[in-house]
Amino acid sequence: MARHLITSAIPYINGVKHLGNLVGSQLPADLYARYLRARGHEVLFLCATDEHGTPAELAAAKAGKPVDEYCAEMWQVQSDLAEGFRLSFDHFGRSSSPQNRALTQHFAKVLDEQGLIREVSETQMYSRADGRFLPDRYIEGTCPNCGFESARGDQCDNCTKQLDPVDLINPHSTISGSTDLEMRETKHLYLRQSVMKDRLEEWIDTRQGWPVLTTSIAKKWLNDGDGLQDRGITRDLDWGVPVQRGDDPWPGMEGKVFYVWFDAPIEYIACAQEWVDAGKGTDWQRWWRTDAGAEDVTYTQFMGKDNVPFHTLSFPATILGSGEPWKLVDYIKSFNYLNYDGGQFSTSRGRGVFMDQALEILPADYWRWWLLSHVPETSDAEFTWESFQSGVNKDLADVLGNFASRVTKFCRSKFGETVPEGGRQGAPEAQLISDLTARIRDYERHMEAIEIRKAAAALRGAWVLGNEYLQEAAPWSTFKTDPEQAAMQIRLALNLIRLYAVISAPFIPDAADQLLEAMQAGDRDWPDDVEAALAALPAGHGFTVPDVTFRKIADAEREEWQARFAGTRS
């Protein structure tokens, strides 16, 4: 049994996330965590809300609530939605936790002691109309590198070039839209990433088998232009982790907070402390400190491509630069973007399907299956209602759901609600077992390599094999001339339902639970031996006919939803 630490990029606190956010980190991470647990591995799966920074302040002001109260409410909303999508976090924490505050201040202190923090007097954008310094992400303008007109003050989302607000052409405040901006002097702390460049590059080169998307973005930031730049880690804000050196004040930094991108990744570690303090675990250090057992842990992160630079460079610079024995990530699974029906998901315009709306329409498994089987691994992908309808109807309803329904209903009508005895298996059954074994081994290889689309295709292929066997065996016809033979075929098919539930559980956990309950299967043993797994339910074992596992989506429903989610969310 191996030990696996899994984290997904922590979602920002300001509002309900859309399906593109979900499939870009949390959902694939959950799939992997569920699969590893099913194979008997020890897993710690952590996530949290990212609560600091100006966006939280602005969202709270818009809601007419104190920022801490707003964040607490939105944490509960996001926690409930995560549960609704069956995200199996061991703990869902908060970056505003006391644990993260103390750990962030600790890292600042040790980095300073290592000579990796410098104080800089600089000028920053100040908006007279807003009466405040503007954080980088609240300044937009034209990118000087590629000409993209909505580049932010810290980065261009189009070409991913790291920017400073003064680099932008025609900058404006995204709060008020004002162009009445001026540069004013202020002091800030910078993480000296530039002196860590060679060490970071050497570390990245030791990571095995990272996706091309991950390494290409990291290398681009390391070597593009002037190379890796020092990065500010403080901001002139009220809401955030106060700037301190551990428990001590930091002279000249009064009234400032740490930059959200400094404290947010540290929450991965703090979340494990929260997990212990909540009484869910007993030893967080064996997961995070290599002097306490974490050297035996495989650490995998899941994130969208926009988060890659911070997780391959800035956070590792913090960990490596501290000189302390912290666990570093072993593998980063990064994703491209999921677009929406000919355009982009848009939180501001309410365009696309958001997590709460999705669960109002259909249960989680419908969304989980389509999103994971279309996950944007190698390129951007697109959600369309036609594709969603087809995936649900053809994969879930016609293949898996129909198989379970036909087999159990036929058995009930001819043999009762117990597994029939029947005769001996023959060549068709041996071939099915051989083909199914090969397909399941493919599925396992793809899951272990975190090749999610290929894993989904292999799983669906396993479902198809059962349907093809049922069509060729035709027990409804065989029963008329050889009831014993038909009984054997149905006994095998009932065991197939149990097997399908076990291997499908990482993708569609609710449906798996329903089918296992209908089969009255008390165990969830993984089918290492497929032939033995297909004899797990013996003759005489009781079962019930399940309710409809997956219903089909009608054309009228699809058309209604397509119109509804074109951009009207309030």
Looking at per-residue pLDDT, the higher value among 7 and 159 belongs to: 7
Strand partners, 351: 346
CA 81 to chain centre: 13
What is the pLDDT, as a whole number, of residue 570?
A: 45
- In whole angstroms, give the CA distance from residue 212 to residue 315: 20
Classify 322 as helix, strand or coil. helix
CB 468, CB 461: distance < 8 Å: no
What is the pLDDT, as a whole number, of residue 133?
A: 84
pTM: 0.92
CB 313, CB 282: distance < 8 Å: no
Please choose, from the candidates 256, 261, 235, 228, the residue with its C-alpha nearest in 3D space to the C-alpha of residue 244: 256
Looking at residues 192-202, what average pLDDT do you find? 93
**Could you report the per-residue pLDDT of 269-278, keeping only the tens digit for each?**
999 999 999 9
Domains delineated in the chain: 385-533 (1.10.730.10)
Question: Which residue's entry shows tokens 């962030």?
Answer: 104
What is the pLDDT, as a whole number, of residue 351?
A: 82
Specify the amino acid at residue 76. Answer: Q
Full 3-state SS string of 87-142: CCCCEEEECCCHHHHHHHHHHHHHHHHCCCEEEEEEEEEEECCCCEECCHHHEEEE
Number of neighbouring beta carbons within 10 Å of residue 331:
17
Question: Which residue's entry shows tokens 């994703």?
Answer: 335
Residue 146 is labelled as binding a ligand: yes
CB within 8 Å of 82: residues ≥ 6 apart: 26, 47, 89, 92
- In whole angstroms, give the CA distance from residue 233 to residue 93: 22
What is the pLDDT, as a whole number, of residue 569?
A: 46
Looking at residues 279-305, what average pLDDT do you find? 97
Looking at residues 406-427, what average pLDDT do you find? 96
Residue 411 is labelled as binding a ligand: no
Strand 151-152 with 139-142, pairing: antiparallel
CB 346, CB 315: distance < 8 Å: no
Positive or negative CA dihedral for 384, 335, 161, 270? Answer: positive
What is the pLDDT, as a whole number, of residue 348?
A: 67
Looking at residues 551-567, what average pLDDT do you find? 93
**Could you report the per-residue pLDDT of 204-248, keeping only the tens digit for each?**
998 888 988 999 999 888 887 667 889 999 998 889 999 999 999
Strand 132-133 with 117-127, pairing: antiparallel
Q: Give strand ranges (E) for 475-566.
A: none
Of the listed ranges 78-82, 235-239, 281-285, 374-378, the least confidently predicted one is 235-239
Please choose, from the candidates 190, 186, 188, the residue with its C-alpha nearest in 3D space to the C-alpha of residue 123: 186
Residue 286 phi, psi (nearest 5)? -70, -10
Question: Which residue's entry shows tokens 């001339």?
Answer: 481
Residue 169 phi, psi (nearest 5)? -95, 130
What is the pLDDT, as a whole number, of residue 15?
A: 87
Instruction: Please report, rounded to a whole number, the percentage of residues in the chain having pLDDT higher than 90.
Output: 82
What is the pLDDT, as a whole number, of residue 85?
A: 98
- In whole angstroms, give the CA distance from residue 11 to residue 51: 9
**Could you report the per-residue pLDDT of 424-445, keeping only the tens digit for each?**
999 999 999 999 999 999 999 9
What is the pLDDT, as a whole number, of residue 568?
A: 52
- What distance, in Å, lies between the first and last C-alpha atoms of the chain? 48
Residue 47 is labelled as binding a ligand: no
pLDDT band at residue 367 using 50, 70 and 90 as cut-offs? very high
What is the pLDDT, as a whole number, of residue 112?
A: 97
Q: Give strand ranges (E) for 192-322.
A: 231-232, 234-235, 244-245, 248-249, 257-258, 297-304
Residue 71 is labelled as binding a ligand: no
- In whole angstroms, give the CA distance from residue 375 to residue 213: 14
- In whole angstroms, give the CA distance from residue 471 to residue 136: 61
Of the listed ranges 58-72, 150-164, 360-374, 467-481, the least confidently predicted one is 150-164
- In whole angstroms, give the CA distance from residue 157 to residue 129: 26
What is the pLDDT, as a whole number, of residue 134?
A: 86
Strand partners, 169: 142
Helix (H) or strand (E) holding 198: helix 197-206
Please choose, from the candidates 498, 492, 499, the residue with its C-alpha nearest in 3D space to the C-alpha of residue 518: 498
Please choose, from the candidates 264, 274, 314, 303, the residue with its C-alpha nearest in 3D space to the C-alpha of residue 55: 264
Please choose, from the candidates 361, 369, 258, the residue with its C-alpha nearest in 3D space to the C-alpha of residue 314: 258
Summary mean pLDDT of the chain: 94
